[in-house]
Amino acid sequence: MSYSLSLYRFVDGEPAEPDMDVVRTVLSPFNAAPEKVSADGVEFWIRATDGSEAEVGVYERFISVERPQVGDVWKVVVDLAARLGAGILIPDGTFLCHEGMRAHLPEGMEDDAVFVPEITLDAFESVAGPFRYPLT
Structural domain contains residue 71: yes
* Amino acid making up residue 107: E
Query: What is the C-alpha separation between 95 and 89, in angstroms, rounded?
Result: 4
**Residue 127 counted as domain residue:** no
- The answer to whether 19 touches 31, Cβ cutoff 8 Å, is no
Predicted pLDDT of residue 21: 95
pTM of the model: 0.91
User: Is residue 123 domain-resident?
Assistant: no
Distance of alpha carbon 59 from alpha carbon 21, whole angstroms: 14
Is 135 part of any domain?
no
Looking at residue 124, its amino acid is F
pLDDT (tens digit, 9 = 90+) per residue, 76-91? Answer: 999 999 999 999 999 8
Domain count, the chain: 1
CATH number at residue 34: 3.30.160
Lowest-pLDDT range, 4-8, 53-57, 132-136? 132-136
Determine, yes or no, domain membership for 129: no
**Domain with 87 in it:** 4-116
pLDDT digits (tens, 9 = 90+) for 95-135: 999 999 999 999 999 999 999 999 999 999 999 876 555 53
